[in-house]
């Protein structure tokens, strides 16, 4: 298995592992964790999309400074969208308010 395939497999496993955290938190009865099916679908799309976007950036960009900037930009966008969907950080209609 080559390095890009290992990295892609790591992205898939990492996204699935992150999605299991709220799943098990709901099963254990943690207060404040009440995800619906749509929440898991949206979270999966965001995590897998960000992972694949980072994979494309790492494959296409050769200079490490640009790689870091591209990956940081992708992660910042995901964090802002996630926060907006979770609590309405910016106040757009995406938050459901």
Confidence of residue 7 (pLDDT cuts 50, 70, 90): confident
Which residue's entry shows tokens 């980072």?
A: 54
Query: Whole-prediction pTM value?
Result: 0.81
What mean pLDDT, rounded, does the chain reach?
88
* Cα 20–chain centre separation: 13
Total number of domains constituting the chain:
1
pLDDT at 55: 92
Rounded to whole angstroms, what are the CA distances from 7 to 10, 13, 75?
5, 10, 17
Burial level of 48, CB count in 10 A (0-12/13-18/19+)? middle
- Residue 28 is predicted with a pLDDT of 92
* Boundaries of domain holding 63: 3-95
DSSP-derived 3-state class of residue 46: helix
- 43-94 pLDDT tens trace: 999 999 999 999 999 999 999 999 999 999 999 999 998 888 887 777 777 6
d(CA 72, CA 75) in angstroms, rounded, equals: 5
Check whether 4 has a pLDDT greater than 80.
no
């Amino acid at each position: 298995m080559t390095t890009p395939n290992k990295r892609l497999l790591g992205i898939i496993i990492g996204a699935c592992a992150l999605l299991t955290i709220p799943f098990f938190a709901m099963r254990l009865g943690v207060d404040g964790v009440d995800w619906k099916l749509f929440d898991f679908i949206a979270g999966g799309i965001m995590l897998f999309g960000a992972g694949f976007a980072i994979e494309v950036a790492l494959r296409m960009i050769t200079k490490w400074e640009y790689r870091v900037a591209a990956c940081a930009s992708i992660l910042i966008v995901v964090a802002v969208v996630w926060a907006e969907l979770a609590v309405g950080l910016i106040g757009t209609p995406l938050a459901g308010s």
